[in-house]
Amino acid sequence: MQIAKVCGTVVSTQKEPSLQGVKFLLLQFVDVEGNLLADYEVAADSVGAGLDEWVLVSRGSAARQTPGGESRPLDALVIGIIDTVSVENLMLYRKRDQDR
Subset of 34-53 contacting a second copy (CB under 8 A)? 38, 40-43, 46-48, 51
Q: With binding defined as CB under 8 A, does residue 60 bind a second copy?
A: yes
**Contact call for residue 74 and a second copy (CB under 8 A):** yes
For residue 11, what are the CA distances in angstroms to 15, 25, 39? 10, 9, 19
**Footprint on residues 1-30 left by a second copy (CB under 8 A):** 1-3, 7-16, 18-19, 24, 26, 28
- Which string of b and e fits 53-74 if b means at least 16 CB within 10 Å? bbbbbbeeeebbeeeeeeebeb
Q: Report the residue from 21, 73, 96, 98 that binds a second copy according to the rule CB under 8 A.
A: 73
Are 40 and 29 contacting, i.e. CB atoms less than 8 angstroms apart? yes
Backbone conformation region of residue 55, classed left if phi is above 0, alpha if psi is from -120 to 50, else beta: beta
Binding residue (CB under 8 A) for a second copy from 21, 68, 89, 98 = 89
- Shortest Å, Cβ 97 to a second copy: 14
Shortest Cβ distance from residue 45 to a second copy (Å)? 11
Report the DSSP beta bridge partners of residue 55: 4, 81
Instruction: Tell me if 81 contacts a second copy by CB under 8 A.
Output: yes
